[in-house]
Amino acid sequence: MKFTGELSWQGRDLKMRMSRLPLFLRTTEEMLKEFAYLGSEKAEEVVITNTNRIADMCEKISPVRPAKCPPVIENSDTRCLRDICYNKAHKMYGDPLPEIVQERLDRELNSIISNGYAVMYIIAQKLVWKSTKTATWSDRVDRSEVLSLRQCPVLRR
């Protein structure tokens, strides 16, 4: 893998800046070939052993937080999503809902809400409503990702 970069000191921080200097990420085998002039034992020490020592000294970090960080819309799970889904289901199947529909709707909603995805469904629903209200046909074709949500009978308005 090739990329360009230049290492430069700025204050105390080592910072990567883009430039014309080509740098390559090499596989272990490629690195062993590069250091073959040291002999196989010394090349293995330099390429594998010392690299692993350095890696063991480094603190393990994650570039993103492990917890989900969705946007917040108040009552998106309890009031908003449930109301939208139940209103649509009542329009489609009548009131009271057939038992099989009620069970399926409860199971799906509980799964979405308990896993913290209700706000994402609300955002998607608002996008669908907005696009169907304001977009021309050609705009709708370009927004196929949003419009695919319209196929879900519970979210259709």
Instruction: Say how far apart CA 45 and CA 141 lie, in whole Å.
Output: 58
Residue range 117-146, pLDDT digits in tens: 888 888 888 888 888 877 655 555 555 544
8 A C-beta contact, residue 72 and residue 119: yes
Q: What is the pLDDT of residue 10?
A: 46
- Rounded mean pLDDT, 25-37: 92
What backbone torsions phi and psi does residue 6 show, to the nearest 5 degrees? -145, 130
Instruction: Say how far apart CA 116 and CA 130 lie, in whole Å.
Output: 23
- SS3 helix, strand, coil % of the chain, rounded to 5? 60, 15, 25
- Rounded mean pLDDT, 2-27: 54
